[in-house]
Structure 1
């Protein structure tokens, strides 16, 4: 988890989405399935929401949404972030 955090560039929203996309490409190259990536991303989202202080307004909004979301809504947020990352 620490290695993934070290690779995330959260200096701006665009850089954040781009670095998430790179992490997903890396996972795909390692043969990790889309379902596994989604499960890992949801676990990662929970970790970030509980342990990392948001450094940009968009991350603060994501953290607040994550904290009030049901598990199903968190899965939706995860799917949306994956879509954003793929399109960056």
Structure 2
């Protein structure tokens, strides 16, 4: 997975593809946001940031409480949906 995370644009593209797949199988926005939150938790716990953008996201994630992290997850989904 680290090659996907090397470049932030690649990460956004990867996330956009996963969101698109989730929408195609009929998941609603709330379920997609929950999945994005779970992915964020996994990445924060298991993956070391490899660039500045990832480092900022991890620091924000670590600084936030659960509800703030859920907002971040929803915002990431919105970010990739609009592109």
Please state which band the TM-score falls in when normalised by the shorter chain: 0.7 to 0.9
Q: Which of 13, 22, 37 lines up with 1:18 in the alignment?
A: 13
Cα separation, 1, equivalents of 2:81 and 2:35:
16
Residue 29 of structure 1 aligns with which residue? Answer: 24
Number of aligned positions between the proteins: 83
Q: Which of 33, 38, 41 lines up with 2:33 in the alignment?
A: 38
Q: TM-score, normalised by structure 2?
A: 0.88
Runs of 4+ in 1 over 3 A off after TM superposition: none
| Alignment gaps of 5+ in structure 2 | none
Q: Cα deviations across residues 35-54 of structure 1 (Å, max 9, x unaligned)?
A: 11111111110111011111
Residue 56 of structure 2 aligns with which residue? Answer: 61
Q: CA RMSD in A?
A: 1.7
Q: TM-score, normalised by structure 1?
A: 0.84
| Alignment gaps of 5+ in structure 1 | none
